[in-house]
Amino acid sequence: MKNIVPVKWLLARLYEPDIVIVDCRFQLGNSNSGREAYEESHIPGAVYLDLEKDLSSPIGEHGGRHPLPDIAELAARLSQVGISNESRVVAYDDQGGAMASRLWWLLKYLGHEAVYVLEEGFGAWKKAGLITTADQKVLIPGRFLATVKHNMLAEVDDVRESLGKAGVTLVDSREAPRYRGEAEPIDRVAGHIPGARNFFWAEGRRPDGTWKSADEHRERFAGLEQDDEIIVYCGSGVTATPNVLALEEAGFTRVRLYAGSWSDWISYEGNGVAVGDEKNQ
């Protein structure tokens, strides 16, 4: 696996000077819980980045519930916590990789390749009996310069233009009932973008919480063409990122994130809404 590292990998490199460990724990609906958990106990040397304060912009009329952060502000924040262009970054959470994958994607989008998600997250570290601490690292600023990879991002106009277009597939990463429009606990409209196929992001992991292998991901994404352009979305652009990671593991090379996702899509009048299952259509 190119993007996932096990606890033993991180343990062996814990004190290497170019390693920056980032705690990304966050609970939707309880925005302080992640920082509180970090302050109580974290992997030694880890710094904390907050999904909403650091890895998103404020909510506006459009852009969804977690708009992408301003690039200059994010680069400055990354520098502030000690991340430079030479750093190897390991992100973790306790939500199956969903929040850590957001940082993974953002760093890739900013041109930084040496970024990894810790397999099974903080829970695996604790389960292994490894040391945790409440001590916070003295921050020594780095110098992070962004080189944005615009081809990794899809905007709402790109998604509109893709509808019904040969060679482009939309992947909805939400749970099946939300995709089908049977339930919608968060957003004001239920359903999915017309033509999208449903691959729930959490199915990229095995029942024990470990990430599936590249072969298992290829089997999971059977029916998607390797040469096609894949546009991935979820509710707000966060839990789509584990699917982007899984698609990359499976060898797909033309994968884009619709960062605004469903919550952005429904903020525009006239955008189509579909319900039901399109897997076999």
Q: Which residues are catalytic?
A: 234
Residue 174 contacts residue 265 (beta carbons within 8 Å): no
Q: What is the 3-state secondary structure (H, E, C) of the chain?
A: CCCEECHHHHHHCCCCCCEEEEECCCECCECCHHHHHHHHCECCCCEECCCCCCCCCCCCCCCCCCCCCCHHHHHHHHHHCCCCCCCEEEEECCCCCHHHHHHHHHHHHCCCCCEEEECCHHHHHHHCCCCCECCCCCCCCCCCCCCCCHHHEECHHHHHHHCCCCCEEEEECCCHHHHHCCCCCCCCCCCECCCCEECCHHHHECCCCCECCHHHHHHHCCCCCCCCEEEEECCCCCCCHHHHHHHHHCCCCCEEEECCHHHHHCCCCCCCCECCCCCCC
Contacts of 150 (CB under 8 A, 6+ apart): none
Distance from chain centroid for Cα 254: 17
